Every structure is written in structure tokens, then in C-alpha cells.
Structure 1
Amino acid sequence: MRSIYYSTTREKSDAPGVIYGTERVETPSYGRIELSVPPDRMAGDVSYPGKDPDPRTDFLATASTGFAGPSAFRQAMAQDLRALPENQRDVVVFVHGFNSTFSEGMIRLAQLAEDLSIPGLAVHYAWPSLNNPLGYSYDRDSVLFGRDGLETLLAEVKAAGAADIILVGHSLGSLMTMETLRQIEIGDEDAASRTVHGVILMSPDIDVELFLAQAHRIGTLPQPFLIFTSKRDRALQLSARLTGQRERLGNLSQVDRVSDLDVTMLDVTNFRDGTRHLTPATSPTLIALMQDLNEVNAAFQGERAGRTGLLPGTVLTVQNATQIILSPVMALN
């Protein structure tokens, strides 16, 4: 069983079995959903419930709580954090990607929390995706629309007493992650690194030059700052063609493009998962490698030389940036 908090700028839906739809609303809604996790499944696997949901195979919502506003949300989260050991009062905030429903994002976060044994609390920020493969322009606009909601959510999580906040963005959710950190920094110098204590971008669908501009405006990036890339990411290959470019940040091949930034690129090209657009969450081998997030975080907070032993692979360092080309064979040894 996984308890997932959420904040969303999606409009409530009247459709059967749908809590929030695709329309945009300026005032966020807040809640918490209990999700049962199928007992027998391979790490990375997700089965969404159909007409005849089965708890043995499907992720299922067993209880749902709506909060009247941010204050009630904050109080409930604070109570849950106080019930945890002091060294586990961290919060992971997940920002979903392109073409995603509210439920898909909730279930994906529950799967990540379960498979990676994430301590502390998990929070899903659900921005209003159109949930349509042809809705790329709508979703990009929704990313910009949803920045204020994510900034508000991060402030509420911090006020609830989170020891550390790890912000995880997938695909277009990575663009929102960077835009929101930039927005926080503009409002208060050094606030981005004080608010967020680590960033993970999975298959980021961001123009490389735009990412550099965002990072330079943020200044001191939260640490660790991890970027999962794959040169075989078919979704990003399509996105690059749509934007008239050769590559996006998530399929960047050369670390020297971001060499002046204190970031670590984890190249997972050698791991398999369908479109290769969510490999860190769906590859059992990579999940096994990344399973102890506390050790990963400790290693990345230490000296750069200590990083290579924890995440085995070919290591390239150019100025401030590090690229680790991970190998499934090495991960299994």
C-alpha cells in the first residue's frame, strides 16, 4: 500500500472513474490517495485497472481524501511527517510528462516509490495534460500555465516540515521543473537551492540552449542534480524533429554542451524499455542499481571521485559536469 499526496491544476471531472480531467484551473486542488500495489510483479511493471480491476495484478485506489485547501493539505502532511523517524522526513515531488492522465501519474509515482523503496512521503503534481498524442502544443502551454501551482506546492511541502525535497520531472515535466526553479529564484535570490535539495530529470524534453539559460538564471543548482538521458529515446527523437532540432536535453550525446554546470548525466542508452522514454522507472536492472536512494544521494553529495564506485560505468568529466554511461552487465555484477 502506498499513500500518495497530490496537488493539481486540472479541473474536476464528472466522467465515471475519472477524478480530474484535462481542463485548466488556476486554483489548485489538494488530496491524498491510498494505492494498493500488486504483490507479484516485476520491478518497473505497471498494470492499470480496466473494466474488471484485480488487486492481484492492478494498481488500485482504495481510499481518497480531498483537502479544503493548502492549509489542510499542509497540516495533514505535517502530521504524517512527524510520525516518521527524523532521518526519513523527506518528500519526493513528481511532475509527470506529456500525454498523461491524472491517474497514470499517480500510479507511476506509486510504482516508483515502491520499487525504489523511497522513504518519507511522495507527492504528485498533476498539471493539465490533454492526454492526447496530438496535444503536444496544448501540453507545452499547460506546462507554463502550471508553474505557479508547482511553486505553491513546493512552498507548502517545505512549510509542512520536509527535511529534504527531491523534485523529479519526467519529459515535459522536466521543463516545468526548470521553469519553476527559475521562477522561485527570480522571486528570491538563492531560494531555489534552499527550497529544493535535489533534482532528477528523467528523459527531459527541453531545448538544450533553453536549459542552459534556465540553469544559469537559477545559479546555484540543487544538489544532487541528475539528468537521465538515452540516445535511443524515440519520443525525444520525434520531439526534436517537431522543433526542427537534432536533439533535446534527454537524448544529448555530448556532456560538453553542459560542461559549465554542476550536473551529472546518467546515460541509460544501453537499457531497454519500449520507447526508452521512462527507462529509470521501467528497467528492472536499472531500478536495482538505483534502489538505495539514500546511498546514491550521499555519494553525490561527496567528492566527485566517490561517485564512480556507486554508479558503475564509463565516466567522462568535462569541467563541472559528469557523464556516466551505465551498463546493464556492470549493474548485474
Structure 2
Amino acid sequence: MDHASLTRRTLLCGAASLPLVGCGLSPDLMIVPEAANVGTNETIFAATNRVFADGAFQELRQESLSFSQFEISVPPIRAVGAVEPGRPRRRGADLETEFVASSGNHLGSAANFRAALQAEARRLGTREVMIFIHGFNSTIGSGLYRTAQIHHDFQIPGVPVHYAWPSAGNPLGYAYDRDSALFARDDLESLLEEIVAAGLDIVLTAHSLGSGVVMEVLRQLRIGDRDDILNRINGVILFSPDIDVDVFRGQAARIGELPQPFVIFTSQRDRALTISARITGLRERVGNLSNPEVVADFDVTLIDVTAFEGGVRDPLNHFAGASSPAVVQILQEVAQVNSSFEQDVSQQPGLLPGTILTIQNATQVLLTPLNQN
């Protein structure tokens, strides 16, 4: 059979019992059927080149994509932007406050994936897919939960798809993750091909190291003259991109005309990127730029969220653009995010709280909390 159920037993991982360091080892995916009657269910598709073995998705790499479909329960009691993964306890996960899956199924072939994607697009009344590409130190569960949170909190109309490349899911696995991000390029391109073959458009959202995967794929699509795919990309949003500034400039120059809007969330208080910069012997990454002029020759919108703290489980301020309740509130109220995928937020300068600067081709928005206006 092409479809196979993923059960509580096959996906309940013991990672939660391991010690936390910094952002910590993320508890992996839990399937709790009764959660379907508690939280708000988000249908999330997963495309991954992680090996599935011993009843769980591993950090090991495979040279092909597999496809799954999950119902993720967004709990009713939580702060906007917060993602608290369900934990295996004697009494079970707290379904009122923690993210879990209520069901999961292997889809089998790419044809099954396309058919399921099309059916969900019809149900939602959309012709667009939102792909979320996770960053460093991510498990299949943490990536699916974050995809559900972004789709739910930002009220995005597109079908949510999580591209789960093989991160080690370990705070000490940075070198492995950087290599895996390079390994993940071709399969992300294959995923884009499948979505376009399904007759759907694309919005790319990525975090941290996942942003580098996006830039590399856009670059190789341009080199391969794949306008059939590039023309179907309706926008790119990079949260805290962990990319060397010179590398980004080279990628963007080779891509040429960037998909629009092209939005980059930055923060000079991003401690994870400060560490990453030190590892590479440099001062800054794209996600914590202090001087927007270094990318001013590209048609990008920088949204600086330095004034905001990251939300729950974001002590390093590495995902403030999506985890900070205040940032989410601003983007909901000002752009309602849906329209920001269709037109550059820089076209709404009178609505965004903060300072807006235009520098050559780039726009920088220095976002400030609402109560400071």
C-alpha cells in the first residue's frame, strides 16, 4: 500500500529525556489521536530526505524524498508565537498547552503527494503552497510544529508544507547541519518541481541555516534556466538567515532578479548568529546585519526586530520574527501577512510602527513595539 499510518508508537521519540543545552534537544513528534478534539488542527505536509528507521525519522541522510501528511494540534492555551512541544510523561502530553500530532500518514509516491496537495488546496480555496524550511538543531517534530504555528498565527491561506532536511537535532551538531544544508539543495528543487507540477504557486519561508538552502536553490534554478519554477515563486521570507554576508551577495548577484517580495528578518540581539559569526571568524551574518548598505544593491526588504525579545523557547532571540508575540501581532494587524506575500511591505510605510529607510534598492524597516509610537 502507498499510504501507511504513522502511529503513536512509531513516532514517540525519547529525545525529550536528554539534557537541554541552549535551545536544547527538541522533543520529537508525538501522535496523540485525542488531540483532534482539543486544539485547532492544521494539515501539514512533510517532504524529507531524512531516513525513516526504527519507527522514527532520523538525522541520517537519504538520496530521495519521502512524503507524509500530518494533522498538527495547535493547543488552545498558549502565547501567540509560542511552540511548546508535547513531552512523553506518565500522564501524557498536556493537550491544552502543548503541540502534538493527532494523526500522520506516509503518502508513498510523489504522485500521491501531488494529489493530496491538490485536494487540500481545493479545500482551502487557494492555489498557493507555503513551504517552511527549518534551521539548525531541528527534529521532524519541532519543524512540523513550527510550520503549524507560522501557518496558524500568521493566518496564511496557502497549503503548508514542511521541508525537513536531515539536521542532527543536536546543539553540538552545527558542522553536520551545515553539510546537511548543502546536501538538501537538490531535493528542495525536486520538491518545488512537484508543487509546480501540481499546478500550484509557492511562497518560501525559511529559518537560520534553512535560508542558505533557499538561496542555493534559487541560484541553481537561475543557472539551470528554470524560469518555469522561478516564475511560480510568489515571495521569499528569510527569518534570521545564518548566511555569510559575502556568500549572500554572491548568491543574490547570480540569481539576479529576486522573487518579490523578498523579506529578511534581522536582529542585532540574535545571540545564536553572534556565535555562528564567531565560529566562522566574522562579525556578522545576514540575519544580524548592523549596516543595511552592504545589501542595498538588491531588491530586498529588511525587517529589523532588534527591539523585540524572542518568545517562548527562544532564549537566544534567534526566531523573534515568528516567536515574539508582539512582532506577530504587528504583522497580523498591519499587513495581515497574507497581503505581504503579494506586495512589498515597504509599500505600506504609513502603517508599520517604526522607521522606514530606503537605501538604493533595499528597504529597511526598524520595527518598534506598538506602545512606543
Query: What is the rounded CA distance, in whole Å, between the counterparts of 1:54 and 1:171 in structure 2?
Result: 29
Query: What is the rounded CA distance, in whole Å, between the counterparts of 1:230 and 1:312 in structure 2?
Result: 16
Shift of 1:313: 1.3
Checking the alignment, whether the CA contact within 8 Å between 1:190 and 1:220 is kept in structure 2 is: no
- Partner of 1:233 in structure 2? 270
With over 3 angstroms needed to count, the CA separation of the structure-2 counterparts of 1:110 and 1:189, relative to structure 1, is closer
- Partner of 1:62 in structure 2? 102
* Matched AA of 2:337: L
Shift of 1:36: 1.2
- Partner of 1:79 in structure 2? 119
Checking the alignment, whether the CA contact within 8 Å between 1:46 and 1:111 is kept in structure 2 is: yes
* Matched AA of 2:319: L
Which one of the candidate residues 354, 359, 366 is aligned to 1:313? 354
Shift of 1:280: 1.4
1:240-262, CA deviations, whole angstroms, 9 ceiling, x for partnerless residues?
00000010000001111011100
Checking the alignment, whether the CA contact within 8 Å between 2:77 and 2:97 is kept in structure 1 is: yes
Give SS of 1:309's match. coil
* Matched AA of 2:364: Q
* Matched AA of 1:322: T
- Does structure 1 residue 134 correspond to structure 2 residue 172? yes
With over 3 angstroms needed to count, the CA separation of the structure-2 counterparts of 1:299 and 1:151, relative to structure 1, is closer
1:144-166, CA deviations, whole angstroms, 9 ceiling, x for partnerless residues?
1011110011111122222x311
Which one of the candidate residues 125, 140, 156 is aligned to 1:102? 140
Give SS of 2:199's match. coil
Which one of the candidate residues 117, 125, 131 is aligned to 1:93? 131
Aligned residue pairs, count: 323
Shift of 1:329: 3.1
- Does structure 1 residue 327 correspond to structure 2 residue 362? no
Checking the alignment, whether the CA contact within 8 Å between 2:208 and 2:240 is kept in structure 1 is: yes
- Partner of 1:278 in structure 2? 319
Shift of 1:84: 3.1
Checking the alignment, whether the CA contact within 8 Å between 1:226 and 1:263 is kept in structure 2 is: yes
TM-score by length of 2: 0.83
1:29-72, CA deviations, whole angstroms, 9 ceiling, x for partnerless residues?
10110011111211011111112212111111111111122111
Shift of 1:191: 4.8
Checking the alignment, whether the CA contact within 8 Å between 2:358 and 2:364 is kept in structure 1 is: yes
- Partner of 2:286 in structure 1? 249
- Partner of 1:10 in structure 2? 50
Checking the alignment, whether the CA contact within 8 Å between 2:265 and 2:303 is kept in structure 1 is: yes
- Does structure 1 residue 213 correspond to structure 2 residue 250? yes
Query: What is the rounded CA distance, in whole Å, between the counterparts of 1:212 and 1:192 in structure 2?
Result: 22
- Partner of 2:80 in structure 1? 43
Shift of 1:192: 5.6
Correspondence list, 1:130-169, <5 A: 130-162=168-200, 164-169=201-206
TM-score by length of 1: 0.93
* Matched AA of 1:211: F
The percentage of counterpart residues that share the same residue type is 50
1:196-254, CA deviations, whole angstroms, 9 ceiling, x for partnerless residues?
11000000000001001101111110000000000010000000000000100000011
Checking the alignment, whether the CA contact within 8 Å between 2:261 and 2:342 is kept in structure 1 is: no
Checking the alignment, whether the CA contact within 8 Å between 1:296 and 1:310 is kept in structure 2 is: no
1:264-317, CA deviations, whole angstroms, 9 ceiling, x for partnerless residues?
00000000012110001111111011121123234418xx5x331232311111
- Partner of 1:294 in structure 2? 338
Query: What is the rounded CA distance, in whole Å, between the counterparts of 2:338 and 2:291 in structure 1?
Result: 28
With over 3 angstroms needed to count, the CA separation of the structure-2 counterparts of 1:299 and 1:180, relative to structure 1, is closer
Correspondence list, 1:254-269, <5 A: 254-269=291-306
* Matched AA of 2:352: L
- Partner of 1:114 in structure 2? 152
Checking the alignment, whether the CA contact within 8 Å between 1:81 and 1:120 is kept in structure 2 is: yes
Give SS of 1:110's match. helix
* Matched AA of 2:330: L
Shift of 1:189: 5.4
Give SS of 2:206's match. strand
* Matched AA of 1:111: Q
Structure 2 unaligned spans of 5+: 1-40
Shift of 1:13: 2.9
Query: What is the rounded CA distance, in whole Å, between the counterparts of 1:89 and 1:132 in structure 2?
Result: 36
